[in-house]
């Protein structure tokens, strides 16, 4: 038991002793006032037995208070139900007192003689009941009254049920109790651990299993449900959220395990359930000691640091106490936001924000020379398939030539490890965006044979919630009243959350010896149509009724299904369960290193001179199935 809780119980116990004693003594005086003629008689008859009476009353009433939970309740949130308990325990105590005193008023043999108390007036019991009831109510409800006078009316507070009686649930209830201006009143917990049932955490009881959510919510008039299980898989979050909506109770959640940076959760982190929560998979744990030894006190450079994944890599890297973080992005506002977040929310001051374009060789050369990074996370890239189809030169210049610039500088400045974030669209690419990322992969694999810098490539699919991705787009369409636009009913994609992707990228950093293409375990592909339906239901609406879904047809460069490995690759397990390596299976003949370098040099020259005819010929030498007609359509 916490020291503060023990002191609070002791204080209430002392108050109850004073209340029980005072109400009984006052009852005698009031009995005399009511019946003046009996005043002198009352005191003369009972004066010698007062101490005995008081001891008997203590023995009866104080244990009853404990049995009825009068010392386990959070009286700051006292309600009508608590007042009913006070009335019950007070009435029961006085009834037992009456029975005991009546029994003791009868002659009882006592060592050869008879012993009996004077007949006890029933009016004193009634007066004592009323006085003690009043004093106990005042003692218990005064804390709530003070709290409401100071912080406002209780009507704005929500009665909440917390799913999860673990560490996160304990922390969030403690926050609710500590913050007197909190909008929440914790009513109880739900937890599937049977050993926790009926126990109390900070005076809040574990009421039942999660399977009994509907019954408990109705019984205790719950206004809101909070999911306080950071490790909960998306399936469980989805089940709780949808069940809550069916009974008309709002449902919110604490951050997932990926979002909990310092192992703690806070009341301000409670937020609405989002699609990322219900689609999230079982949380993974990265191998902290290995990552810590590689990053601690080192200079880490992150390109695309203001982007969705780049900024999350910043948040995750900061956990491992780097010596300095050099953040590179060509968008001033995005860079400013992540720099402010790291400085203000995480208290990290060794940040160097650099507004620079990775294609600017001189600017990047100056950054590398000045700060000498130990590890480079290369997240800067153009990623929108349809947009890059209209701008092939931009895709190749940024995704391929920009990567080439950064990689060469990494070698020149003795960078230890270089991790490039790639995409499943680089596998058998149909789009210019995918092709540009594949060219970058091929180039880095060629460099991996050079001693010194270790180049690793991490390939994954769509990231839930990243800027411009399908989830934010669907959200905007739902808020606008629809329709949701889907290119094809059979469209499927691999998905993972931003924090999950960032953690696995960081883990991959310490695994490779150079040249590896790591493929993150993306699980099963998800139907975009199912995703849209889930999002509509999550907003409390009915697909096809409240929000219409229309199909617009696949865009140029878009595939119905993505792949994680090419035809000439096979996925091989690594020592880390959620990361695989894509290795050549020997089914296709690779071009030599010299041929590859010459082809890539030609592609670079051709994109600079807008020589598209030879550009696509050379691209087909690296990507035999690449169809330039998917790009040429823009000039039709």
Q: Are residues 326 and 386 in the same domain?
A: yes
Q: Are residues 519 and 593 in the same domain?
A: yes
| Sheet strands (E) in 350-437 | 351-355, 375-378, 417-423
Q: Are residues 234 and 162 in the same domain?
A: yes
Q: What is the model's pLDDT at position 336?
A: 93
**Are the C-beta atoms of residues 208 and 165 closer than 8 Å to each other?**
no
Q: What is the model's pLDDT at position 260?
A: 54
d(CA 453, CA 513): 9
Task: Give 10-residue mean pLDDT values along the chain (636 residues).
Answer: 64 83 79 52 63 81 83 68 83 83 65 58 81 84 63 62 87 79 84 86 87 87 85 80 83 69 62 70 65 88 91 89 93 92 86 93 94 94 86 89 93 92 87 89 79 86 70 82 84 79 84 83 80 80 82 76 75 82 68 77 83 82 74 51
d(CA 281, CA 577): 14
- Nearest-CA neighbor of 624 among 594, 599, 593, 602? 599
In this structure, the number of other CB atoms found within 10 A of the CB of residue 148 comes to: 16
Q: Are residues 183 and 273 in the same domain?
A: yes
Q: Are residues 248 and 217 in the same domain?
A: yes
- Nearest-CA neighbor of 333 among 312, 353, 358, 362? 353
- Nearest-CA neighbor of 147 among 77, 73, 82? 77
Specify if 205 maps to a domain. yes
Residues 82-109: b if buried by 16+ CB within 10 A, e if exposed: beebbeebbeebbebbbebbeebeeeee
d(CA 233, CA 231): 6
d(CA 180, CA 196): 27
d(CA 251, CA 539): 11
Q: Are residues 325 and 262 in the same domain?
A: no
d(CA 519, CA 523): 11
Specify if 486 maps to a domain. no
Q: Are residues 125 and 27 in the same domain?
A: yes
Q: Which of 151, 184, 205 is the last residue of a domain?
A: 151
Specify if 226 maps to a domain. yes
Phi, then psi, of 317 in degrees rounded to 5 = -60, -35
Residue 326 is encoded by which pair of tokens? 């050099």
Specify if 485 maps to a domain. no
For the CA atoms of 358, 432, 408, 367, the dihedral, rounded to the nearest 10 degrees, stands at 10
Q: What is the model's pLDDT at position 234?
A: 75
Three-state SS at 425: helix
Structure letter (DSSP) for residue 621: H
Q: Which of 279, 311, 332 is the last residue of a domain?
A: 279
Structure letter (DSSP) for residue 146: H
Specify if 541 maps to a domain. no
Q: Which of 130, 151, 172 is the last residue of a domain?
A: 151
- Nearest-CA neighbor of 500 among 236, 230, 293, 272? 230
- The total number of structural domains in the chain stands at 3
Centroid of chain to Cα 221: 26
Q: What is the model's pLDDT at position 398?
A: 92
d(CA 256, CA 234): 10
Q: Are residues 249 and 307 in the same domain?
A: no
d(CA 25, CA 54): 9
Specify if 493 maps to a domain. no
**What are the start-end ranges of the H helices in 207-268?**
213-219, 234-246
Q: Are residues 102 and 231 in the same domain?
A: no
Structure letter (DSSP) for residue 329: E
Q: Are residues 161 and 146 in the same domain?
A: no
Structure letter (DSSP) for residue 547: B
Burial class for 539, CB neighbours closer than 10 Å (0-12, 13-18, 19+): middle
Specify if 520 maps to a domain. yes
Q: Which domain holds residue 311?
A: 296-469+498-524+563-630
Q: Are residues 397 and 344 in the same domain?
A: yes
Q: Are residues 161 and 135 in the same domain?
A: no
Specify if 186 maps to a domain. yes
Structure letter (DSSP) for residue 236: H
Q: What is the model's pLDDT at position 153?
A: 46
Q: Which residues contact 327 (CB under 8 A, 6 or more apart)?
A: 302, 305, 306, 314, 335, 338, 339, 351, 352, 353, 354
**Are the C-beta atoms of residues 202 and 231 closer than 8 Å to each other?**
no
CATH of the domain at 176: 3.40.50.720
């Amino acid at each position: 038991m916490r020291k503060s809780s023990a002191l609070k119980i002791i204080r209430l116990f002392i108050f109850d002793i004073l209340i029980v004693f005072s109400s009984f003594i006052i009852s005698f005086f009031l009995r005399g006032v009511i019946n003046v003629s009996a005043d002198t008689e009352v005191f003369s008859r009972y004066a010698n037995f007062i101490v005995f009476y008081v001891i008997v009353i203590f023995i009866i009433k104080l244990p009853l208070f404990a049995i009825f939970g009068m010392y386990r309740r959070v009286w700051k949130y006292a309600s009508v139900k608590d007042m009913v308990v006070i009335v019950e325990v007070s009435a029961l105590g006085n009834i037992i007192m009456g029975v005991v005193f009546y029994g003791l008023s009868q002659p009882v043999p006592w060592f050869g003689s008879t012993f009996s108390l004077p007949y006890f007036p029933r009016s004193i019991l009634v007066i004592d009941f009323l006085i003690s009831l009043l004093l106990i109510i005042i003692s218990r409800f005064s804390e709530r009254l003070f709290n409401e006078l100071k912080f406002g009316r209780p009507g704005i507070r929500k009665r909440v049920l917390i799913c999860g009686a673990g560490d996160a649930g304990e922390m969030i209830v403690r926050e609710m109790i500590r913050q007197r201006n909190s909008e929440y009143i914790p009513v109880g917990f739900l937890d599937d651990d049977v050993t926790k049932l009926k126990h109390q955490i900070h005076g809040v009881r574990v009421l039942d299993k999660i399977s009994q959510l509907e019954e408990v919510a109705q019984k205790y008039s719950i206004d809101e449900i909070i999911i306080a299980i950071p490790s909960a898989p998306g399936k469980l979050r989805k089940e709780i959220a949808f069940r809550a909506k069916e009974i008309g109770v709002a449902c919110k959640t604490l951050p997932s395990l990926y979002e909990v940076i310092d192992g703690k959760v806070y009341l301000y982190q409670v937020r609405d359930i989002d699609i990322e929560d219900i689609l999230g998979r079982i949380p993974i744990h990265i191998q902290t000691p290995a990552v810590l030894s590689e990053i601690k006190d080192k200079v880490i450079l992150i390109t695309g640091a203001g982007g969705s994944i780049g900024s999350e890599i910043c948040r995750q890297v900061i956990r491992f106490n780097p010596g300095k973080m050099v953040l590179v992005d060509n968008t001033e506002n995005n860079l400013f936001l992540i720099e402010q977040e790291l400085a203000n929310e995480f208290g990290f001051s060794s940040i160097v924000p650099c507004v620079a374009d990775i294609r600017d060789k001189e600017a990047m050369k100056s950054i590398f020379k000045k700060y000498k990074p130990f590890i480079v996370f290369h997240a800067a890239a153009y990623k929108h398939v349809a947009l890059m189809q209209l701008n092939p030169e931009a895709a190749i210049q940024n995704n391929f030539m920009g990567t080439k610039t950064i990689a060469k500088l990494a070698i020149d400045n003795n960078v230890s490890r270089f991790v490039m974030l790639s995409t499943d669209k680089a596998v058998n690419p149909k789009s210019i965006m995918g092709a540009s990322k594949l060219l970058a992969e091929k180039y880095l694999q060629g460099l991996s044979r050079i001693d010194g810098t270790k180049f690793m490539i991490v390939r994954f699919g769509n990231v839930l919630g990243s800027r411009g991705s399908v989830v934010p787009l669907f959200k905007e369409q739902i808020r606008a009243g629809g329709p949701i636009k889907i290119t094809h009913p059979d469209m499927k994609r691999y998905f993972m959350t931003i924090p999950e992707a960032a953690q696995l990228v960081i883990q991959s950093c310490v695994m490779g010896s150079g040249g590896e293409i790591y493929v993150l375990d993306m699980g099963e592909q998800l139907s975009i149509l199912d995703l849209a339906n889930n999002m509509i239901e999550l907003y409390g609406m009915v697909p096809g009724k409240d929000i219409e879904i229309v199909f617009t047809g696949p865009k140029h460069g878009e595939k119905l299904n993505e792949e994680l490995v090419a035809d000439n690759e096979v996925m091989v397990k690594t020592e880390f369960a959620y990361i695989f390596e894509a290795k050549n299976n020997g089914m296709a003949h690779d071009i030599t290193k010299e041929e590859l370098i010459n082809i890539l040099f030609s592609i670079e020259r051709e994109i600079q001179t807008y020589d598209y005819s030879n550009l696509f010929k050379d691209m087909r030498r690296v990507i035999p199935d690449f169809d330039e007609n998917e790009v040429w359509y823009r000039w039709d």
